Structure 1
Amino acid sequence: MRKLFMVLVIALIPALAWSYAKPLRLLLPHLNGVTCNGSVCVEDTRGMDQAIELYGSAVKNISAARLPLRASPTFVYCSTVECYQSFGGGNERAISYPFLGTVIAPESWQRYITQHELVHWFQFYEIGPVSTMMKPEWFREGMAYVYSNAPESDIPEHYLPIMVKYDEWHSNKSWSEVVQDAVDL
Protein backbone atom coordinates (compact mmCIF):
# COMPACT_ATOMS: atom_id res chain seq x y z
CA MET A 1 0.00 0.00 0.00
CA ARG A 2 2.80 2.41 0.89
CA LYS A 3 4.57 1.74 -2.44
CA LEU A 4 1.33 2.39 -4.33
CA PHE A 5 0.94 5.69 -2.48
CA MET A 6 4.52 6.71 -3.36
CA VAL A 7 3.97 5.80 -7.02
CA LEU A 8 0.80 7.92 -7.10
CA VAL A 9 2.57 10.87 -5.47
CA ILE A 10 5.49 10.63 -7.91
CA ALA A 11 3.08 10.35 -10.83
CA LEU A 12 1.14 13.41 -9.67
CA ILE A 13 4.16 15.71 -9.36
CA PRO A 14 4.56 16.32 -13.13
CA ALA A 15 0.80 16.75 -13.57
CA LEU A 16 0.65 19.28 -10.74
CA ALA A 17 3.70 21.13 -12.06
CA TRP A 18 2.10 21.28 -15.54
CA SER A 19 -1.15 22.58 -14.07
CA TYR A 20 0.16 25.12 -11.60
CA ALA A 21 3.66 26.10 -12.75
CA LYS A 22 2.54 27.33 -16.16
CA PRO A 23 5.94 28.64 -17.33
CA LEU A 24 7.19 25.03 -17.25
CA ARG A 25 4.98 24.47 -20.27
CA LEU A 26 7.66 26.27 -22.30
CA LEU A 27 9.82 23.16 -21.92
CA LEU A 28 7.38 21.23 -24.14
CA PRO A 29 5.29 23.97 -25.75
CA HIS A 30 3.75 21.67 -28.37
CA LEU A 31 1.97 19.86 -25.51
CA ASN A 32 0.25 23.16 -24.72
CA GLY A 33 -1.40 23.54 -28.10
CA VAL A 34 1.22 25.44 -30.10
CA THR A 35 3.15 24.46 -33.21
CA CYS A 36 6.90 25.02 -33.29
CA ASN A 37 9.44 25.57 -36.04
CA GLY A 38 12.83 25.60 -34.37
CA SER A 39 12.78 28.20 -31.60
CA VAL A 40 9.58 29.84 -32.83
CA CYS A 41 6.17 28.58 -31.74
CA VAL A 42 2.71 29.86 -32.64
CA GLU A 43 -0.77 29.13 -31.49
CA ASP A 44 -2.25 29.65 -34.96
CA THR A 45 -0.10 28.19 -37.75
CA ARG A 46 -1.28 30.92 -40.12
CA GLY A 47 1.02 33.26 -38.18
CA MET A 48 4.13 31.08 -38.38
CA ASP A 49 5.79 33.00 -41.25
CA GLN A 50 5.20 36.33 -39.49
CA ALA A 51 6.55 35.00 -36.17
CA ILE A 52 9.64 33.53 -37.86
CA GLU A 53 10.26 36.87 -39.59
CA LEU A 54 9.84 38.81 -36.30
CA TYR A 55 12.19 36.49 -34.46
CA GLY A 56 14.79 36.36 -37.25
CA SER A 57 14.88 40.11 -37.81
CA ALA A 58 15.05 40.78 -34.07
CA VAL A 59 17.99 38.37 -33.71
CA LYS A 60 19.68 40.06 -36.68
CA ASN A 61 19.17 43.55 -35.16
CA ILE A 62 20.42 42.45 -31.74
CA SER A 63 23.49 40.88 -33.36
CA ALA A 64 24.10 44.07 -35.35
CA ALA A 65 24.11 45.94 -32.04
CA ARG A 66 26.88 43.53 -30.99
CA LEU A 67 24.87 41.88 -28.23
CA PRO A 68 26.04 38.29 -28.59
CA LEU A 69 23.27 35.76 -28.11
CA ARG A 70 24.65 32.40 -27.00
CA ALA A 71 21.48 30.46 -27.71
CA SER A 72 18.16 30.66 -29.50
CA PRO A 73 15.56 30.78 -26.74
CA THR A 74 12.09 29.46 -27.42
CA PHE A 75 9.61 32.21 -28.26
CA VAL A 76 5.89 31.45 -28.19
CA TYR A 77 3.76 33.94 -30.13
CA CYS A 78 0.19 33.70 -28.84
CA SER A 79 -2.83 34.74 -30.88
CA THR A 80 -5.23 34.72 -27.94
CA VAL A 81 -5.14 35.88 -24.33
CA GLU A 82 -6.00 32.31 -23.29
CA CYS A 83 -2.79 31.03 -24.88
CA TYR A 84 -0.74 33.79 -23.24
CA GLN A 85 -2.20 33.06 -19.83
CA SER A 86 -1.76 29.31 -20.31
CA PHE A 87 2.02 29.88 -20.31
CA GLY A 88 1.85 32.10 -17.22
CA GLY A 89 1.47 35.48 -18.89
CA GLY A 90 -0.49 38.22 -17.15
CA ASN A 91 -1.06 41.89 -17.97
CA GLU A 92 2.39 42.55 -19.45
CA ARG A 93 2.97 42.54 -23.22
CA ALA A 94 5.57 39.77 -23.14
CA ILE A 95 7.41 37.79 -20.50
CA SER A 96 10.70 35.91 -20.43
CA TYR A 97 11.37 33.05 -18.05
CA PRO A 98 15.08 32.23 -17.62
CA PHE A 99 16.00 28.76 -18.87
CA LEU A 100 12.47 28.23 -20.23
CA GLY A 101 11.55 30.72 -22.94
CA THR A 102 9.53 33.81 -23.79
CA VAL A 103 5.83 34.30 -24.41
CA ILE A 104 4.56 37.14 -26.59
CA ALA A 105 1.01 38.39 -26.00
CA PRO A 106 -1.43 38.62 -28.94
CA GLU A 107 -1.17 42.42 -29.30
CA SER A 108 2.62 42.38 -29.03
CA TRP A 109 3.76 40.87 -32.31
CA GLN A 110 6.27 43.63 -33.03
CA ARG A 111 9.97 43.32 -33.79
CA TYR A 112 10.88 45.76 -31.04
CA ILE A 113 9.08 43.71 -28.41
CA THR A 114 10.88 40.58 -29.57
CA GLN A 115 14.16 42.54 -29.47
CA HIS A 116 13.36 43.80 -25.97
CA GLU A 117 12.90 40.23 -24.76
CA LEU A 118 16.07 39.07 -26.54
CA VAL A 119 18.00 41.73 -24.60
CA HIS A 120 16.69 40.15 -21.41
CA TRP A 121 18.02 36.80 -22.68
CA PHE A 122 21.40 38.44 -23.28
CA GLN A 123 21.28 39.65 -19.65
CA PHE A 124 20.28 36.18 -18.39
CA TYR A 125 23.18 34.50 -20.21
CA GLU A 126 25.85 37.10 -19.54
CA ILE A 127 25.01 38.21 -16.01
CA GLY A 128 22.87 35.31 -14.80
CA PRO A 129 19.12 35.28 -14.28
CA VAL A 130 19.11 35.85 -10.53
CA SER A 131 21.79 38.52 -10.74
CA THR A 132 19.91 40.20 -13.61
CA MET A 133 16.71 40.36 -11.59
CA MET A 134 18.59 41.90 -8.68
CA LYS A 135 20.00 44.71 -10.82
CA PRO A 136 18.37 48.16 -10.71
CA GLU A 137 15.44 48.69 -13.05
CA TRP A 138 17.33 51.40 -14.93
CA PHE A 139 19.85 48.74 -15.95
CA ARG A 140 17.46 45.83 -16.71
CA GLU A 141 14.71 47.72 -18.47
CA GLY A 142 16.81 50.67 -19.63
CA MET A 143 19.07 48.35 -21.59
CA ALA A 144 16.12 46.39 -22.99
CA TYR A 145 14.31 49.53 -24.13
CA VAL A 146 17.45 51.13 -25.58
CA TYR A 147 18.21 48.09 -27.74
CA SER A 148 14.61 47.31 -28.65
CA ASN A 149 14.39 50.29 -31.02
CA ALA A 150 10.81 50.78 -29.86
CA PRO A 151 9.07 53.92 -31.08
CA GLU A 152 9.00 56.47 -28.27
CA SER A 153 5.20 56.58 -28.55
CA ASP A 154 5.09 52.92 -27.44
CA ILE A 155 7.46 53.24 -24.48
CA PRO A 156 5.78 53.87 -21.12
CA GLU A 157 6.70 57.41 -20.07
CA HIS A 158 8.32 56.33 -16.80
CA TYR A 159 10.90 54.30 -18.78
CA LEU A 160 12.20 57.26 -20.78
CA PRO A 161 14.47 58.61 -17.98
CA ILE A 162 15.56 55.02 -17.24
CA MET A 163 16.73 54.71 -20.85
CA VAL A 164 18.72 57.94 -20.55
CA LYS A 165 20.35 56.75 -17.33
CA TYR A 166 21.32 53.42 -18.96
CA ASP A 167 22.64 55.20 -22.05
CA GLU A 168 24.78 57.55 -19.93
CA TRP A 169 26.09 54.63 -17.86
CA HIS A 170 26.89 52.52 -20.93
CA SER A 171 28.25 55.43 -23.03
CA ASN A 172 31.54 54.25 -24.54
CA LYS A 173 31.94 50.92 -22.73
CA SER A 174 32.60 47.70 -24.62
CA TRP A 175 30.19 44.82 -24.03
CA SER A 176 32.71 43.03 -21.85
CA GLU A 177 32.99 46.21 -19.73
CA VAL A 178 29.20 46.52 -19.56
CA VAL A 179 28.87 42.93 -18.38
CA GLN A 180 31.73 43.28 -15.88
CA ASP A 181 30.45 46.61 -14.55
CA ALA A 182 26.92 45.19 -14.32
CA VAL A 183 28.19 42.59 -11.87
CA ASP A 184 29.19 45.41 -9.53
CA LEU A 185 25.84 47.25 -9.69
Structure 2
Amino acid sequence: MQKGLDVVKKVVLIFVVVLIPALAWSYAKPIRLLLPNLNGMQCNGAICVEDPKKIDKAADLYESAVANLAAVRISLSASPNFIYCSTAECYESFGGGSERAISYPFLGTVIAPESWQSYITQHELIHWFQFSEIGAVSTMMKPNWFREGMAYVYSGAPESDIPEHYLPMMAKYRDWHSGKSWSEVIHQAGDL
Protein backbone atom coordinates (compact mmCIF):
# COMPACT_ATOMS: atom_id res chain seq x y z
CA MET A 1 0.00 0.00 0.00
CA GLN A 2 2.78 2.44 0.94
CA LYS A 3 4.60 1.74 -2.34
CA GLY A 4 1.48 2.63 -4.35
CA LEU A 5 1.09 5.84 -2.34
CA ASP A 6 4.72 6.77 -3.06
CA VAL A 7 4.10 6.31 -6.80
CA VAL A 8 1.05 8.59 -6.62
CA LYS A 9 3.07 11.23 -4.75
CA LYS A 10 5.77 11.11 -7.43
CA VAL A 11 3.22 11.46 -10.23
CA VAL A 12 1.60 14.43 -8.47
CA LEU A 13 5.02 16.00 -7.90
CA ILE A 14 5.94 15.60 -11.58
CA PHE A 15 2.58 17.12 -12.53
CA VAL A 16 3.10 20.12 -10.25
CA VAL A 17 6.76 20.70 -11.12
CA VAL A 18 6.67 20.04 -14.87
CA LEU A 19 3.22 20.01 -16.37
CA ILE A 20 1.60 23.02 -14.67
CA PRO A 21 4.45 25.43 -15.56
CA ALA A 22 4.53 24.06 -19.13
CA LEU A 23 0.79 24.60 -19.51
CA ALA A 24 1.03 28.09 -18.02
CA TRP A 25 3.86 28.97 -20.42
CA SER A 26 1.83 27.74 -23.38
CA TYR A 27 -1.57 29.18 -22.55
CA ALA A 28 -1.06 32.06 -20.10
CA LYS A 29 1.23 34.05 -22.38
CA PRO A 30 1.76 37.03 -20.03
CA ILE A 31 3.59 34.60 -17.70
CA ARG A 32 6.42 34.78 -20.24
CA LEU A 33 7.18 38.28 -18.96
CA LEU A 34 8.71 36.65 -15.90
CA LEU A 35 11.40 34.93 -18.00
CA PRO A 36 11.58 36.87 -21.27
CA ASN A 37 14.92 35.29 -22.22
CA LEU A 38 13.14 31.95 -22.56
CA ASN A 39 10.86 33.62 -25.10
CA GLY A 40 13.76 34.71 -27.33
CA MET A 41 14.37 38.16 -25.85
CA GLN A 42 17.70 39.80 -25.13
CA CYS A 43 17.60 41.78 -21.89
CA ASN A 44 19.63 44.48 -20.20
CA GLY A 45 18.14 44.83 -16.75
CA ALA A 46 14.40 45.45 -17.07
CA ILE A 47 14.58 46.31 -20.80
CA CYS A 48 14.19 43.47 -23.29
CA VAL A 49 14.21 43.37 -27.11
CA GLU A 50 14.08 40.76 -29.86
CA ASP A 51 16.96 42.29 -31.79
CA PRO A 52 20.04 43.00 -29.64
CA LYS A 53 20.93 45.89 -32.00
CA LYS A 54 17.84 47.73 -30.72
CA ILE A 55 18.59 47.52 -26.99
CA ASP A 56 20.06 51.05 -26.89
CA LYS A 57 16.99 52.53 -28.60
CA ALA A 58 14.66 50.75 -26.16
CA ALA A 59 16.76 51.86 -23.18
CA ASP A 60 16.69 55.46 -24.44
CA LEU A 61 12.88 55.35 -24.74
CA TYR A 62 12.55 53.97 -21.23
CA GLU A 63 15.04 56.38 -19.64
CA SER A 64 13.49 59.35 -21.43
CA ALA A 65 10.02 58.37 -20.21
CA VAL A 66 11.23 57.97 -16.61
CA ALA A 67 12.95 61.39 -16.78
CA ASN A 68 9.84 63.05 -18.23
CA LEU A 69 7.71 61.62 -15.43
CA ALA A 70 10.23 62.67 -12.78
CA ALA A 71 9.95 66.22 -14.16
CA VAL A 72 6.26 66.22 -13.17
CA ARG A 73 7.06 64.59 -9.80
CA ILE A 74 5.93 61.10 -10.68
CA SER A 75 8.48 58.63 -9.39
CA LEU A 76 8.40 54.89 -9.73
CA SER A 77 9.23 52.63 -6.83
CA ALA A 78 10.25 49.75 -9.11
CA SER A 79 11.48 49.08 -12.64
CA PRO A 80 9.02 46.67 -14.23
CA ASN A 81 10.10 44.50 -17.16
CA PHE A 82 9.50 46.34 -20.42
CA ILE A 83 9.45 44.14 -23.50
CA TYR A 84 9.93 46.05 -26.77
CA CYS A 85 8.75 43.85 -29.63
CA SER A 86 9.91 44.39 -33.23
CA THR A 87 7.40 41.96 -34.72
CA ALA A 88 3.70 41.21 -34.31
CA GLU A 89 4.63 37.60 -33.53
CA CYS A 90 6.67 38.73 -30.54
CA TYR A 91 3.88 40.99 -29.29
CA GLU A 92 1.31 38.21 -29.59
CA SER A 93 3.65 35.72 -27.93
CA PHE A 94 3.45 37.80 -24.72
CA GLY A 95 -0.34 38.05 -24.91
CA GLY A 96 -0.64 41.32 -26.84
CA GLY A 97 -3.54 41.90 -29.19
CA SER A 98 -4.76 44.92 -31.13
CA GLU A 99 -3.69 47.51 -28.53
CA ARG A 100 -0.42 49.41 -28.95
CA ALA A 101 1.00 48.35 -25.60
CA ILE A 102 -0.20 46.46 -22.56
CA SER A 103 0.82 46.34 -18.92
CA TYR A 104 0.14 43.26 -16.85
CA PRO A 105 0.18 43.95 -13.11
CA PHE A 106 2.92 42.06 -11.28
CA LEU A 107 4.46 40.86 -14.59
CA GLY A 108 5.56 43.70 -16.89
CA THR A 109 4.74 45.65 -20.03
CA VAL A 110 4.85 44.73 -23.69
CA ILE A 111 5.29 47.42 -26.36
CA ALA A 112 4.02 46.62 -29.86
CA PRO A 113 6.33 47.05 -32.89
CA GLU A 114 4.66 50.27 -34.06
CA SER A 115 4.69 51.78 -30.56
CA TRP A 116 8.33 52.57 -29.95
CA GLN A 117 7.69 56.15 -28.79
CA SER A 118 8.66 57.68 -25.48
CA TYR A 119 5.09 58.83 -24.81
CA ILE A 120 3.77 55.27 -25.13
CA THR A 121 6.39 54.07 -22.67
CA GLN A 122 5.39 56.98 -20.40
CA HIS A 123 1.73 56.02 -20.68
CA GLU A 124 2.52 52.48 -19.55
CA LEU A 125 4.79 53.72 -16.75
CA ILE A 126 1.85 55.78 -15.46
CA HIS A 127 -0.08 52.53 -15.16
CA TRP A 128 2.83 51.12 -13.13
CA PHE A 129 2.73 54.22 -10.93
CA GLN A 130 -0.99 53.55 -10.40
CA PHE A 131 -0.33 49.87 -9.65
CA SER A 132 2.35 50.67 -7.08
CA GLU A 133 0.60 53.60 -5.38
CA ILE A 134 -3.04 52.50 -5.49
CA GLY A 135 -2.61 48.75 -5.84
CA ALA A 136 -2.88 46.72 -9.02
CA VAL A 137 -6.29 45.23 -8.33
CA SER A 138 -7.66 48.51 -7.00
CA THR A 139 -6.34 50.35 -10.07
CA MET A 140 -8.08 47.92 -12.40
CA MET A 141 -11.36 48.60 -10.55
CA LYS A 142 -11.11 52.39 -10.99
CA PRO A 143 -13.17 54.15 -13.67
CA ASN A 144 -11.63 54.31 -17.13
CA TRP A 145 -11.54 58.12 -17.01
CA PHE A 146 -9.18 57.85 -14.04
CA ARG A 147 -6.93 55.02 -15.28
CA GLU A 148 -6.64 56.07 -18.91
CA GLY A 149 -7.26 59.77 -18.38
CA MET A 150 -4.28 60.00 -16.04
CA ALA A 151 -2.10 57.87 -18.32
CA TYR A 152 -2.87 60.01 -21.37
CA VAL A 153 -2.57 63.33 -19.51
CA TYR A 154 0.94 62.45 -18.29
CA SER A 155 2.10 60.53 -21.35
CA GLY A 156 2.99 63.62 -23.35
CA ALA A 157 1.33 62.06 -26.39
CA PRO A 158 0.56 64.43 -29.25
CA GLU A 159 -3.20 64.98 -29.48
CA SER A 160 -3.12 63.63 -33.03
CA ASP A 161 -2.07 60.23 -31.61
CA ILE A 162 -4.70 60.05 -28.87
CA PRO A 163 -7.88 58.17 -29.82
CA GLU A 164 -10.74 60.66 -29.78
CA HIS A 165 -12.79 58.76 -27.21
CA TYR A 166 -10.02 59.34 -24.63
CA LEU A 167 -10.13 63.14 -24.91
CA PRO A 168 -13.20 63.52 -22.62
CA MET A 169 -11.57 61.12 -20.12
CA MET A 170 -8.49 63.30 -20.09
CA ALA A 171 -10.63 66.41 -19.47
CA LYS A 172 -12.47 64.69 -16.62
CA TYR A 173 -9.20 63.54 -15.08
CA ARG A 174 -7.68 67.05 -15.35
CA ASP A 175 -10.75 68.56 -13.65
CA TRP A 176 -10.66 65.96 -10.88
CA HIS A 177 -6.89 66.30 -10.32
CA SER A 178 -6.90 70.11 -10.47
CA GLY A 179 -5.18 71.60 -7.45
CA LYS A 180 -4.48 68.27 -5.75
CA SER A 181 -1.04 67.16 -4.62
CA TRP A 182 0.12 63.69 -5.64
CA SER A 183 -0.55 62.39 -2.13
CA GLU A 184 -4.11 63.76 -2.33
CA VAL A 185 -4.58 62.16 -5.74
CA ILE A 186 -3.46 58.78 -4.43
CA HIS A 187 -5.53 59.08 -1.25
CA GLN A 188 -8.69 60.27 -3.02
CA ALA A 189 -8.36 57.65 -5.74
CA GLY A 190 -9.42 55.17 -3.10
CA ASP A 191 -12.85 56.83 -3.03
CA LEU A 192 -13.49 56.47 -6.75
Q: TM-score, normalised by structure 1?
A: 0.98
CA shift at 1:5, angstroms?
2.4
121, 142, 147: which is aligned to 1:140?
147
Specify the code of the residue in structure 2 equivalent to 1:154. Answer: D
Aligned letter for 1:49? D
In 1: Cα distance, 2:49 partner to 2:131 partner: 23
Q: CA offsets per residue over residues 23-42 of structure 1, 9 Å max, x none?
A: 11111111110000011100
Question: Could you tell me how far apart the structure 1 residues matched to 2:13 and 2:131 are?
Answer: 36
Tell me the residue number matched to 2:42.
35
Following the alignment from structure 2 to structure 1, what is the Cα–Cα distance between the partners of residues 59 and 65? 10
Match of 2:105 in 1: 98
CA distance in 1, matches of 2:179, 2:9: 63
Counting matched residue pairs gives 185
Residue in 1 that maps onto 2:69:
62
- Structure 1 unmatched runs, 5+: none
Per-residue deviation at 1:71?
A: 0.6
Give the CA deviation at 1:45.
1.0
Give the fraction of aligned pairs with identical amino acids, expressed as a percent. 72
Equivalent residue runs for 1:167-178 within 5 Å: 167-178=174-185
**Misfit runs of 4+, over 6 Å:** none
- Work out which of the residue numbers 110, 134, 154 in structure 1 matches 2:117: 110
Corresponding position: 1:2 with 2:12:
no
Task: Identify which range, 110-119 or 40-49, moves more after superposition.
Answer: 40-49
* CA distances 1:58-88 after superposition (whole Å, capped 9, x unpaired): 0000111111210111100000011001111
Counterpart in 2 of 1:12? 19
**TM-score normalised to structure 2 length:** 0.94
